[in-house]
């Protein structure tokens, strides 16, 4: 087995229109670091596998594995299992690495335990958003970093694809993804953060990963089991931080954010969502203990969504 500096893990599923470009963006990188790409196909029924195999003929550092449609979390776990690199990176099959990404992350991780890069988000309507400042950058302790992660995170903070991890830390702490297809990224990153030191996190303050936002994705489709998944996520976080009493003050605000996420998801994707449903979810949050660690933006959103639910639904639904 060849030992690489970096193993890049990419789940694939019915991505014939995008995976070629995603793979090319990785192998077009100019870098001094050796890397392998592990593609784990999750039961594709289109031409995805043939496209992967054609790229394998061009580059022997691509490996292809298969799962029987067990979803993204299990595919990533399989990638971690087979990875031979000292470091782990991730990519989705419909996104792209921007130029210089691997080199920047490889250089930075040498003296760190984790590196986080900025992201560029492209939406179907042509809108572009950039996130290049992590909420964790201003932390001056492990507790503050974890608290900020739980209560103030952005997409760049919880995503896997804009980070480089140390494989030994993943292995030694038995960090894997749970297979519910919601929040698995956030839980993985939280477990990793709990295993490292805040002073050993580096940041690349420019967008290095292109995240293509699609209609009809998991997060943009109504899921009747979402409330159970949200509650399961909250319960798992509670258990992970149970031996860290200093994080207790952040937990209720974290729960408030997840409850607001549930409201937002339903406003956008559930045609039966109504004022009564919304007020029922938010009523317990109208309490200072749930709001004190949140940003003003989230406090205002929760208060408006509860006090003026019709107005809030009308305003937020415009994001569809």
Cβ neighbors of 282 (< 8 A, separation 6 or more) are 259, 260, 263, 302, 305, 306
Contact 193, 144 (CB under 8 A): no
Q: How buried is residue 21: exposed, middle or buried, by Cβ count under 10 Å (0-12/13-18/19+)? A: middle
Residue 179 is predicted with a pLDDT of 66
Give which of 231, 217, 216 is closest to 262, Cα–Cα: 231
C-alpha 205/C-alpha 248 separation (Å) is 30
Over 80: is that where the pLDDT of 73 sits?
Answer: yes
Residues in the chain: 320
Residues facing 248 on adjacent strands:
none
C-alpha 260/C-alpha 236 separation (Å) is 18
Over 80: is that where the pLDDT of 181 sits?
Answer: no
Sign, Cα dihedral of 77, 92, 137, 298: negative
Residue 155 is predicted with a pLDDT of 97
**pLDDT band per the 50, 70, 90 thresholds, residue 239:** very high
The chain-wide mean pLDDT, for the chain, equals 95
Residue 219 is predicted with a pLDDT of 60
C-alpha 312/C-alpha 318 separation (Å) is 10
DSSP string, 270-307: -TT--HHHHHHHHGGG-SHHHHTTS-HHHHHHHHHHHH
Give which of 1, 8, 71 is closest to 39, Cα–Cα: 8
> What's the mean pLDDT in 142-167?
97
Cβ neighbors of 61 (< 8 A, separation 6 or more) are 2, 4, 34, 35, 36, 37
**pLDDT band per the 50, 70, 90 thresholds, residue 255:** very high
Which bin fits 14, alpha (ψ -120 to 50), beta or left (φ > 0)? Answer: left
Neighbours of 145 (CB within 10 A): 22
214-223 pLDDT, tens digit per residue, is: 765 556 678 8
Over 60: is that where the pLDDT of 50 sits?
Answer: yes
Residue 214 is predicted with a pLDDT of 79
Residue 218 is predicted with a pLDDT of 57
> What's the mean pLDDT in 276-291?
95
C-alpha 173/C-alpha 191 separation (Å) is 8
Could you tell me what percent of the chain has a pLDDT over 70? 97
> What's the mean pLDDT in 177-199?
91
Residue 106 is predicted with a pLDDT of 98
> What's the mean pLDDT in 241-267?
96
What is the helix (H) or strand (E) element at residue 265, kind and residue range? helix 248-269
Could you tell me what percent of the chain has a pLDDT over 90? 91
Over 60: is that where the pLDDT of 62 sits?
Answer: yes
Give which of 310, 308, 286, 312 is closest to 299, Cα–Cα: 286
CA distances (Å), origin 62, targets 2, 148, 177: 12, 37, 23
The DSSP output letter for 239 is H
114-151 pLDDT, tens digit per residue, is: 999 999 999 998 999 999 999 999 999 999 999 999 99
Sign, Cα dihedral of 211, 213, 25, 48: positive
> What's the mean pLDDT in 37-50?
97
Q: How buried is residue 306: exposed, middle or buried, by Cβ count under 10 Å (0-12/13-18/19+)? A: middle
Over 80: is that where the pLDDT of 109 sits?
Answer: yes
């Amino acid at each position: 087995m060849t030992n690489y500096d970096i193993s890049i893990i990419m789940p694939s599923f019915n991505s014939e229109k995008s995976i070629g470009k995603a793979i090319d963006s990785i192998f077009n990188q100019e870098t001094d670091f050796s890397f392998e790409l592990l593609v784990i196909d999750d039961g594709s029924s289109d031409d995805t596998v043939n496209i992967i195999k054609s790229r394998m003929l061009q580059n022997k550092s691509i490996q292809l594995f298969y799962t029987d449609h067990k979803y993204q979390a299990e595919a990533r776990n399989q990638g971690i299992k087979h990875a031979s690199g000292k470091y782990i990176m991730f990519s989705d099959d419909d996104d792209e690495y921007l130029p210089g990404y691997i080199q920047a992350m490889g250089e930075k991780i040498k003296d760190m335990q984790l590196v986080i890069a900025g992201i560029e988000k492209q939406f179907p309507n042509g809108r572009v958003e950039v996130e290049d400042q992590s909420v964790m950058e201003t932390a001056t302790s492990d507790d503050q970093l974890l608290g900020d992660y739980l209560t103030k995170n952005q997409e760049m903070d919880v995503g896997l694809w804009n980070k480089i991890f140390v494989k030994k830390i993943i292995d030694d702490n038995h960090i894997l993804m749970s297979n519910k297809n919601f929040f698995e990224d956030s839980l993985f990153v939280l477990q990793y953060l709990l295993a490292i030191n805040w002073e050993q996190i580096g940041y690349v303050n420019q967008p290095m990963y292109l995240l293509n936002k699609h209609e009809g994705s998991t997060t943009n489709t109504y899921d009747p089991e979402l409330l159970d998944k949200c509650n399961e996520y909250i319960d798992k976080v509670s258990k992970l931080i149970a031996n860290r009493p200093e994080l207790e003050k952040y937990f209720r605000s974290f729960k408030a954010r997840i409850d607001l996420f549930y409201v937002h998801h339903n406003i956008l994707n559930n045609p039966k969502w109504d004022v009564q449903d919304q007020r029922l979810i938010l009523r317990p949050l109208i309490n200072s203990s749930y709001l004190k660690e949140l940003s003003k933006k989230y406090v205002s959103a929760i208060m408006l969504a509860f006090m003026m639910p019709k107005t809030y639904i009308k305003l937020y639904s415009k994001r569809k």
